[in-house]
Structure formats: C-alpha cells, structure tokens
C-alpha cells in the first residue's frame, strides 16, 4: 500500500511569507478592536487593508500560487461540463420529487403496518 505524498512548505522564504501573512491577519484584527474609539471607518479600513495585505502576501508564497493554480484548473474543468437543457433539468427534478413522494408513502405505510402489528396484534395495546 503506497503512502500518500504530503506537501510541506519547503523554503524559508515561503515560511516567512506565511508567518508574515498570519501576523498581518492578527494585526488587522487587533487594529479593528484597538481603533474602536476612532470610529467605524477607521476600524473597518484597518481591518480591510490588513486582510488584503495578508491575502496578497499569502498569494505570493508557493502554497498561495499552488492554490491559485488549483482554482484556475478547477474553473477550466467546470467550463467543460455539459449542462442539461431546461426541459431535461425539469424532467429530472420531477422524477426526484415523484420518487421522494413514493418513498415517503412507502415508509409511512411500513411504519403504520409495523405499529399495528406490534402494538395491536402482539402486545394488545389498544389506543
């Protein structure tokens, strides 16, 4: 049995970038709470600027670049999907609703039959 490959942050530069991005997030949150007396514009401005800087720093690191490449590849795959026409989608939705209705009826009948069998016939508990 093969063991899965585990990717780790390998370079010191990437580790430093990720640590700095984490520090920016913490700093943005701290600034948000520390600037409470300055008003909401200052609070939210510091939070947005700090988080934006953290995102930029993350995406300059190798894991950030890999995440961006993964998203780009995923979007490319989504574009290849052949989506059903409206008529076909409506038909499949109707089939699902019909199946759910039939299954609900079957389970209700099964429940009532077992209830009658156990409580009325076997145990004799009349309601």
Question: Do 38 and 24 fall within a single domain?
Answer: yes
What is the token pair recorded at 43? Answer: 């609070």
- Last-in-domain residue among 66, 81, 96: 81
Question: Do 72 and 94 fall within a single domain?
Answer: no
Q: What is the pLDDT of residues 62-116, one digit of tens each?
A: 999 999 999 999 999 999 999 899 999 999 999 999 999 999 999 999 999 999 9
Q: What is the pLDDT of residues 16-71, one digit of tens each?
A: 999 999 999 999 999 999 999 999 999 999 999 999 999 999 999 999 999 999 99
As a whole number of angstroms, the distance between CA 14 and CA 61 comes to: 5
Tell me, yes or no, whether 3 lies in a domain: no
At 25 the pLDDT is 96
- Last-in-domain residue among 50, 65, 81: 81
- Environment class of residue 17 by beta-carbon count within 10 Å: exposed (0-12), middle (13-18) or buried (19+)? buried
Question: Do 51 and 111 fall within a single domain?
Answer: no
Enumerate residues 6+ apart whose C-beta is below 8 A from 85: none
Question: Do 52 and 111 fall within a single domain?
Answer: no
15 touches 63 (CB < 8 A): no
Q: Burial code of 43-61, b = ≥16 C-beta within 10 A, e = fewer?
A: beebbeebbebbeebbeeb
């Amino acid at each position: 049995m093969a063991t899965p490959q585990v990717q780790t942050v390998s370079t010191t530069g990437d580790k430093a970038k990720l640590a700095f991005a984490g520090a920016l997030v913490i700093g943005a949150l701290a600034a948000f709470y520390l600037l409470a007396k300055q008003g909401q514009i200052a609070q939210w401005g510091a939070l947005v600027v700090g988080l934006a800087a953290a995102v930029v720093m993350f995406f300059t690191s190798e894991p950030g670049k890999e995440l961006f490449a993964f998203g780009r590849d995923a979007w490319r795959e989504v574009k290849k999907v052949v989506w059903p026409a409206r008529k076909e989608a409506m038909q499949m939705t109707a089939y699902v609703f019909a199946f759910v209705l039939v299954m609900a009826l079957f389970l209700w009948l099964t429940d009532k039959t077992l209830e009658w069998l156990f409580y009325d016939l076997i145990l004799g508990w009349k309601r």
